[in-house]
Amino acid sequence: MDEQVSVKIQRLLDNIELVVYGKHEVVKLCVIGLLARGHILIEDVPGIGKTTIAQAIARSLDCSFNRIQFTSDMLPSDILGVSMLDPKNNTFEFRKGPIFASIVLADEINRTPPKTQSALLEAMSEFQISADGTTHALPQPFMVLATQNPIEHEGTYVLPESQLDRFSLRVEMGYPPAKDEIRIMRRRDPLKVIHDLKPVLTVPDILALQDCVGDIAVDDSVANYMLKIVQGTRSHEQVQLGASPRSSLSYFEVCQAKALVDGRDYVTPGDVKEMAVPVLSHRILVKSRGADLSIAPQERARVVREIVANTDVPV
């Protein structure tokens, strides 16, 4: 592997961690999602740093960034854009919405109705949007970083399965270690640090790294191992809806990106095991055991871990 590739990836990781303390694995997952040309759902309780990590990633890349604060009264046109009449030429001109950025922070995505959430579907899967019969390409690279609070359900809408399936990775922040929380307390306000953060990678750098992901070798036995885990979600007795073929493709690319970030030019069974929960847990629908929706993410993750444990590892 080209040494410059590893240097650029490490530079990006280090830059993000100037703001996000004690969350190396979370930062790494976000970088993996970026290199795999995927989108990331950051899900955890309030005040844990979901928005901070999204802003740190955007600031570390020399590309466009927009933040969309999702609310219950938001319309699809507030995201995609709207055609407006130009009185001089008597023609309609399309005014681009905030979706037209390389990094889009969809903050509290579950606070907007499904009709508005659906405005993201085409953008996230095809990197384009359609408005008034015209297709508009989105900038490259393009990545949606969405946040949501899994505990509070009043005034929120459950993300539909079609929306969840378009997120390559679901990431939980978790509480920081005590020594890092002390650093956070002493720093007080992260906004100044985020504002002072300098970009370390350009758009050509990011696109070149994304192209490198496709060159990572995946042995047939490892690819079959991934597929068996995905198929396991479709036959598990507690799963109502298993992972889709889109999940298989995303799983494959994320494992390649993980190997690249780790400095290898091949995927190992260990990569497949480690990426199973972040890639698959939000893409399956577990049979309900009660009305408490807050346990759903943990239950999905438990089922995926059980499937991985019961799948033979290639030698």
Residues 101-111 have pLDDT tens digits of 999 999 989 88
Mean pLDDT confidence for 287-302: 68
The pLDDT value recorded for residue 297 is 78
The pLDDT value recorded for residue 296 is 75
List the beta bridge partners of residue 42: 147, 171
Q: From CA 127, how far away is CA 86, in angstroms rounded?
A: 27
The pLDDT value recorded for residue 291 is 47
Residue 217 has what DSSP assignment?
B
Mean pLDDT confidence for 217-242: 93
Q: From CA 186, how far away is CA 193, in angstroms rounded?
A: 13
Per DSSP bridges, beta strands 128-131 and 81-86 are: unpaired
Mean pLDDT confidence for 256-281: 96
The pLDDT value recorded for residue 13 is 95
Per DSSP bridges, beta strands 91-96 and 81-86 are: antiparallel
Q: Which domains does the chain have, with CATH numbers?
A: 1-213 (3.40.50.300), 215-315 (1.10.8.80)
Average pLDDT for the chain: 89
Check whether 155 has a pLDDT greater than 70. Answer: no
Q: Residue 169: CB partners within 8 Å, gap ≥ 6?
A: 29, 30, 32, 33, 38, 40, 41, 254, 278, 279
- Do the beta carbons of residue 232 and residue 307 sit within 8 Å? yes
Q: Distance from first CA to last CA of the chain, Å, rounded? A: 24
Report which secondary-structure segment, H or E, holds 167: none
Check whether 287 has a pLDDT greater than 60. Answer: yes
Alpha-carbon distances of 170 from 204, 235, 260, 275, 285, rounded to whole Å: 26, 22, 20, 10, 14
User: pLDDT digit string (tens) for 4-57?
Assistant: 899 999 999 999 999 998 889 999 999 999 999 999 999 877 777 888 888 899
Ranges 156-165, 232-241, 300-309: which has the least confidence? 156-165
Question: Burial letters for 41-80: b for 16+ Cβ neighbours within 10 Å, e otherwise?
Answer: bbbbeeebbbbbbbbbbbbbbebebbbbebeeebebebbb
- Do the beta carbons of residue 99 and residue 120 sit within 8 Å? yes
Residue with the bigger pLDDT between 197 and 154: it is 197
Q: How many Cβ atoms from other residues are within 10 Å of residue 172's Cβ?
A: 20
Check whether 207 has a pLDDT greater than 60. Answer: yes
The pLDDT value recorded for residue 255 is 97
Whole-prediction pTM value? 0.90
User: pLDDT digit string (tens) for 61-89?
Assistant: 999 999 999 988 898 889 998 888 777 77
